[in-house]
Amino acid sequence: EQSPLILQVSAGARKYAKHIYLVKLVEAALEDSNLPIALHLDHGDSFEICKDCVDGGFTSVMIDASHHDFDENVKITKQVVEYAHAHGVVVE
């Protein structure tokens, strides 16, 4: 009834909807409701996508750099964590 809400955006959703549309949908939901709402990026596959979401108002992001070798995966994950945390955004 009054539970917090997490809206998760997949890579597929980002392909078909402009980033700003997704953010504006959440802003409209916040104005229409007293519920706490989080906007989460699911399986962002690059630093650039995660950065774009952080800069665009997402409250959390998930980095999935598993398509890279282990060392590159760790490097990208660290880069995302440092950037996101500097902007108050949680990383999965």
Is the separation of the CB atoms in 54 and 89 below 8 Å? yes
Whether 52 contacts 20, CB under 8 Å? no
Residue 12 scores a pLDDT above 70: yes
Across the chain, what does the average pLDDT equal? 91
In tens, the pLDDT along 35-50 reads 888 999 999 999 999 9
Catalytic residue IDs: 42
Burial class (CB in 10 A: 0-12, 13-18, 19+), 38: middle
For the chain, which residues make up each domain, given as ranges?
5-91
| pLDDT value of position 1 | 67
Cα(61)–Cα(43) distance, integer angstroms: 8
All residues at 6 or more sequence positions from 27 whose CB lies less than 8 Å from its CB, including other chains: none
